[in-house]
Amino acid sequence: MVPSDGPAIVLTTLNAKYIHASLGLRYLLANMGALKRQTVLREFTIARKVPEVAAELLATLGEPLPGVVQIIGFGVYIWNVTQTTEVVRLLKNQRPEVKVVLGGPEVSHELGEQEIVRLADHVITGWGDVSFPKLCRALLHGSQPLMKIIAGEEPPLDQLVLPYAEYTDADLAHRLLYVEASRGCPFKCEFCLSSLDKTSRAFDLDAFLDEMQGLYRRGARNFKFVDRTFNLKVDSSVRILQFFLDRLPAPDALGNEIFVHFEVVPDHLPDRLKVLIAKFPPGVLQLEVGVQSFSIAVQQRVSRKQDNAKTEANLRWLVAQSNAHLHADLIFGLPGETLESFATGFDRLHGLGPHEIQLGILKRLRGTPIVRHSTPYGMVYDPDPPYTVRQTGAVDAATLQRFARFSRYWDMIANSGRFTRTLLVLLAGPSPFYFFLDFADWQWLKSGTTSGLTPEALVDAMFDYLCTQRGLPALTVQQALLADYVASGARASPQALKGLLPEREAPQLLGAKTLADRQVRHLAVRQTAD
């Protein structure tokens, strides 16, 4: 018996932002079998108030009927576990008979110490594609009670119903579409949950590309691949790249631009891939290149296999010979990594010229082997999500805080693409890392904040710093800032540029921003330089 005013099962999660659409929930929905007609999907963001989320979930279920089981399944991740715990607590207080089922990486390991696990009725660890529908069938139609902790089954990928039809037209129009041609990773980097995978497994490529064609036919143009190692199997990578090349609009066509994001292994770029990558025009292809550390000792310590020379050569080629937008990742706080060794790696990476250097601080993800280094390398982590390292034997707490501020300012100034010319002035010298660190320290003392800084505030800050701290001529600094500010399209009036800004048209009402705003800014600057 099913309630007449609501579904029996609600799948839900709290995404970091609206633009993120949960691929995991859509896998569950697609594989519900006969229960699919009794299942709905509801997504929220972590910005929503907990009482609002709980109220909407209960309203979706509708009023309970005697003897009828109602189920809410939560996707739990490092970024939403705090809020999700409070949602579950409120739900169980208001409607204790509702069955709460948890799944996701945050509740797949170290369960004994988690409050959200205590509050829930059932937890599925690992893969839930098959195990969640099976649990729901047992709850709705089977005998009671069931085990609280259920080890998820890892089914053959060809037995799964692919989830892409579950993306709605609104998803296609307004959100990132996450897709995956493979699962798992053969590498064993100890800071990553993928280190627990036995290997990488690929979906049937013909079936996957048929699904991509279905999304494309429906109007999808933004595809973010979540594969950990997109370029691991070159034959598959070539076919996928060719799929998107074949669907690029004509050079003079308006609209229908494609945007594709891949995460690639930095030291594996065979010529067959280079040939295809070189064919993509600007603004289409984005590559996330996980360098993480150039220190050989650190790489070996965390079981990371990376050929630094090949990594460097491949990045040089991508910058010089392709139009791909490059995000290169580094992690600070790895065991044994000092500020000095990180600075050396940063400067090496910066010299290769990626469009963005994305800076992260090590997090102790539940279940990862990085924990084995805690005692010998003095690793101290925040006990609360996202479990960020607070100090190590090589880096004290104050230095980690300095780096966190460095990272925030770097994202606003360098990665934003708004200050490319001024950045050349700011970083000119033997060590771009230490030059920017000096600015970050100065800016923190001056402003006391790493948030809420407008482009205009940053213009004035850099002018002040470069003139007073570096002793550069005001005219030189103003010329760089003026060129950057005008190119960015900003229309206010920073104090440092008073009387220098040309007359500009009034701001126009813009439609939805594209996902490639940063790429456009970086591209415009490079074209001007060329």
- Of 185-199, 396-410, 456-470, the least confident: 185-199
Whether 162 maps to a domain, the answer reads no
pLDDT digits (tens, 9 = 90+) for 188-214: 899 998 878 777 899 999 999 999 999
Phi, psi of 256 (to 5 degrees): 60, 25
Residues 6+ apart with CB under 8 A from 402: 437, 440, 441
pLDDT at residue 257 tops 60: yes
Asked if 316 and 423 sit in the same domain, the reply is no
Q: Does a cis peptide bond (omega within 30 degrees of 0) precede residue 186? A: no
* Inside any domain, residue 411: no
CATH number of the domain residue 130 falls in: 3.40.50.280
Note the pLDDT of residue 278.
97
Q: Which of 157, 185, 205 delimits the end of a domain?
A: 157
**For the packed helices 339-352 and 432-447, what is the interaxial angle rounded to 10 degrees?**
110
Whether residue 408 lies inside any domain: the answer is no
Share above pLDDT 70 across residues of the chain, in percent, rounded to a whole number: 92
Mean pLDDT for the stretch of residues 363-374: 96
Query: Which domain does 139 fall in, by range?
Result: 9-157
- pLDDT > 90: percent of the chain: 84
Residues 247 and 390 in one domain: yes
What's the Cα-to-Cα distance from 152 to each of 84, 127, 325, 414, 493, rounded to whole Å?
21, 5, 37, 42, 57
| Confidence check: pLDDT of 165 > 60 | yes
Mean per-residue pLDDT over the chain, rounded: 92
Looking at the structure, tell me whether residues 442 and 504 fall in a common domain: yes
Same structural domain for residues 212 and 181? yes
Whether 401 maps to a domain, the answer reads no
Q: In the block, which residue shows the tokens 């709460």? A: 100
Statement to judge: residues 183 and 318 lie in one domain: yes
C-alpha distances in Å from residue 404, one per residue of 76, 373, 380, 437: 25, 22, 16, 11
pLDDT in tens, 100-151: 999 999 999 999 999 999 999 999 999 999 999 999 999 999 876 689 999 9
- Which tops the pLDDT comparison, 66 or 234? 234
**406 within some domain:** no
**Residue 388: which of 407, 414, 410 has the closest Cα?**
407
How much is the pLDDT for 66? 84
Number of domains in the chain: 3
- Cα separation, 241 vs 280, in Å, equals 9
Task: State the residue for tokens 């369960």.
Answer: 111
Q: Which of 348, 365, 395 is the last residue of a domain?
A: 395
The last residue of one of the domains, among 337, 362, 395, is 395
35 lies in the same domain as 176: no
Is 407 domain-assigned? no
pLDDT per residue over 89-107, tens digit each? 999 999 999 999 999 999 9
| Residue 153 and residue 183 share a domain | no
272-319 confidence digits (pLDDT tens) = 999 999 999 999 999 999 999 999 999 999 999 999 999 999 999 999
- In this structure, the answer to whether residues 420 and 388 fall within a common structural domain is no
Judge if 472 and 430 occupy the same domain.
yes
513 has pLDDT over 60: no
CATH number at residue 175: 3.80.30.20
User: Would 147 be classed as within a structural domain?
Assistant: yes
pLDDT-based confidence at residue 32 (cuts at 50, 70, 90): very high
The answer to whether residue 4 sits within a structural domain is no
Residues 56 and 176 in one domain: no
With a cut of 80, say whether residue 519 has pLDDT above it.
Answer: no
Residues 382 and 452 in one domain: no
Predicted pLDDT at 521: 64
Query: Does residue 391 share a domain with residue 441?
Result: no
Q: Give the mean model confidence (pLDDT) for residues 159-173.
A: 97
